[in-house]
Amino acid sequence: MDIKTTGKTGPAERDEKDGGAAGTATTGDLDGAPDGDLADDPDTDPADDPEDDLEDEAAAPAGKETGVGAGAAAVVSAALAAVALTGTWTGKVVSERETLVGQIKTSGSGTPAQQISEIYGDAWHSTALVNGAFALVALIVAVAVLVLPRHPSWVRAVATAGAVLAGLGLLLSIGTYFDLFLSLPTAGS
């Protein structure tokens, strides 16, 4: 907005001299508004209007969450549940360790039944424990996401999938640990 000033004194000097009544005249070139109108005042910025700020706040949805954290937690729960079903590198390392410990314990003096239990049974059970721990963590995260309110529908869908997969992984781990699905082989006499 261009403001034309006539006279030799500026606005600050005008106020000091005679209260701003003489010596200068300002005219706006946009709408011909009378002198002293806020539209022509160079000290006021339309962007700083507090009424506009209130309108912007009213236009923004209050309490609207993006669901990024909940979405990430839902994806993590689904991934952990899938890992619990397929097995982990950690489970493999623990299983290999149990196999080695079993071989050391029964190297020369163990009966075939002890060898089977120490070498294979302990390894299977430790793998089931590790996979069950992953499934339990996945289930806790999925339930936490589902319990918290106001999430987008895709977050609820992924968290539900994570909870179902984690529950299945937990059941399989429990069944494997207690030899419900497959029992340890027995040594022939």
Q: What is the band of 45 on the pLDDT scale with cuts at 50, 70, 90?
A: low
In this structure, are 41 and 73 located in the same domain? no
pTM of the model: 0.62
The 8-class DSSP code of residue 27 comes to: E
Phi, psi for residue 150 in degrees, rounded to 5: 55, 65
* Whole-number pLDDT of residue 63: 47
In this structure, are 156 and 130 located in the same domain? yes
Tokens of 135: 């499934």
Q: What is the band of 1 on the pLDDT scale with cuts at 50, 70, 90?
A: low
| pLDDT exceeds 80 at position 5 | no
Q: How far apart are CA 150 and CA 63, in angstroms?
A: 9
Domain count within the chain = 2
Percentage of the chain lying above the pLDDT 90 cut: 48
Q: Which of 17, 32, 59 is the last residue of a domain?
A: 59
In this structure, are 145 and 77 located in the same domain? yes
In this structure, are 123 and 47 located in the same domain? no
| pLDDT exceeds 70 at position 51 | no
| Count of Cβ atoms closer than 10 Å to residue 73 Cβ | 21
98-109 residues labelled b (16+ CB within 10 A) or e (exposed): bbeebeeebeee
In this structure, are 110 and 25 located in the same domain? no
Is 189 part of any domain?
A: no
DSSP H helices in 26-152: 50-59, 68-86, 89-105, 112-115, 122-147
| pLDDT exceeds 70 at position 57 | no
Tokens of 89: 């590198």
Q: Which residue has the higher pLDDT, 17 or 121?
A: 121
**Dihedral angle computed from the Cα positions of residues 77, 79, 85 and 90, in that order, rounded to the nearest 10 degrees:** -100
In this structure, are 80 and 153 located in the same domain? yes
Is 186 part of any domain?
A: no
pLDDT per position as a tens digit, 90-109: 999 999 999 999 999 888 78
Domain residues for the domain of 55 are: 3-59
Q: What is the band of 65 on the pLDDT scale with cuts at 50, 70, 90?
A: low
pLDDT per position as a tens digit, 107-160: 878 888 888 888 899 999 999 999 999 999 999 999 999 998 888 999 999 999
In this structure, are 139 and 168 located in the same domain? yes
Cα-based distances in Å from 126 to 117, 131, 137: 12, 9, 17
Is 188 part of any domain?
A: no
In this structure, are 31 and 78 located in the same domain? no
Is 50 part of any domain?
A: yes
Is 165 part of any domain?
A: yes
Q: How far apart are CA 168 and CA 134, in angstroms?
A: 12
In this structure, are 164 and 75 located in the same domain? yes
